[in-house]
Structure 1
Amino acid sequence: MVTVNAIKKGIVIDHIKAGYGIKIFKYLGLENADFTVALIMNAPSNKLGKKDIIKIENAIDMDYIVLGLIDPNLTINIIEEEVIKEKIKLKLPERVEDIIKCKNPRCVTSIERDIIHVFYLVDEYSGEYKCQFCDEIYFHSEV
């Protein structure tokens, strides 16, 4: 069994769907971190079967909207003095700006410059999003 020590102060991203940890790790740019970071993949989980976990011994800025889009079921734990001070549960965002890019060649966002790509959540169960301008459908798993 692998042992990863508790962190004194920082962030633990828990309940990440197995295999998505590396995607979040890269999105946060943690491969270039000059502080302690642990990526644990395929850890046993009673709730998920397997899960990924990221432990960051530092405070960093994170976009919860993007993280919720990547994996809406993850939990962010803020750690101080080796104790969870705050627990943040994410969900799929209702509105997403300039994260999903519309690929419809006839969409105004493909033709005009400087138009913000806006998508709205249509179906939370399937993770379906619709472009504000052309109604093109995307799924959060495509991000």
Structure 2
Amino acid sequence: MLNIDSLEKGIVLDHIRAGSSMKIYDLLHLANLDCCVAVIKNAKSSKFGKKDIIKIEGAVDIDLDILGFIDHDITVNIIDNGKIIEKKQLVLPKVIKNVIRCKNPRCITSVEEEIDHVFHLTDDHTQKYRCIYCEQEYQDK
């Protein structure tokens, strides 16, 4: 049995879809932090079968919009004195900036390197994002 110590102070990202933790690790730039970060992949889950977990030690600020875009079912637990003091609920962000890229070759973001890649949520029910410059719908694949 693998044992990862509990946190005294920090953040635990729980119920991450199995196999998605490294994408989150990269998008949140966790490698740049000067603290302990534990990535647990394929942990047993009674609810999902398997899940990933990320534990971040210390007082850090993470972008909840990125997490909400990737998977708004992720549980964000804020830990202090070894106890969960707050659980944050994620929602699909209305706007995401520099998380995904527009794939339209005629979009200004393809020509101008310094322009931010900004997408807006068109409809909460369909959960589709469109580029604010060319209206190209974001396709994951």
Moved more, 73-82 or 123-132: 123-132
Q: Aligned letter for 2:17? A: K
- RMSD over equivalenced CA pairs, Å: 2.3
**Aligned match of 1:24:** 24
Shift in Å, 1:98 = 2.9
**Aligned match of 2:61:** 61
The equivalences for 1:36-51 within 5 A come to: 36-51=36-51
**Aligned match of 1:97:** 97
**Aligned match of 2:131:** 131
Shift in Å, 1:86 = 0.9
Contact 2:28–2:66 (CA under 8 A) maintained in structure 1 = no
**Aligned match of 1:119:** 119
Shift in Å, 1:113 = 6.1
**Aligned match of 2:5:** 5
Unaligned 5+ runs, structure 2:
none
Contact 1:20–1:71 (CA under 8 A) maintained in structure 2 = no
Shift in Å, 1:68 = 1.6
Q: Aligned letter for 2:6? A: A
Q: Aligned letter for 2:23? A: K
Distance 1:36 1:116 in 2: 31
Shift in Å, 1:34 = 4.2
Q: Could you state the TM-score of these two structures normalised by the residue count of structure 2?
A: 0.83
- Relative to 1, partners in 2 of residues 1:40 and 1:136: Cα closer, same or farther, differing over 3 Å? same
CA deviation vs aligned residue, 1:8-51 (integer Å, no higher than 9, x gap): 11111111110011222233343455433221111111222211
Shift in Å, 1:91 = 2.3
Aligned residue pairs: how many? 141
Distance 2:104 2:111 in 1: 10
Unaligned 5+ runs, structure 1:
none
Distance 2:102 2:73 in 1: 25
Q: Where do 4+ consecutive residues of structure 1 move more than 6 Å?
A: none
- Relative to 1, partners in 2 of residues 1:35 and 1:116: Cα closer, same or farther, differing over 3 Å? closer
Contact 1:16–1:74 (CA under 8 A) maintained in structure 2 = yes
Shift in Å, 1:112 = 4.7
Contact 2:28–2:63 (CA under 8 A) maintained in structure 1 = no
Shift in Å, 1:6 = 1.3
SS of the aligned residue for 1:66 comes to helix
Q: Could you state the TM-score of these two structures normalised by the residue count of structure 1?
A: 0.82
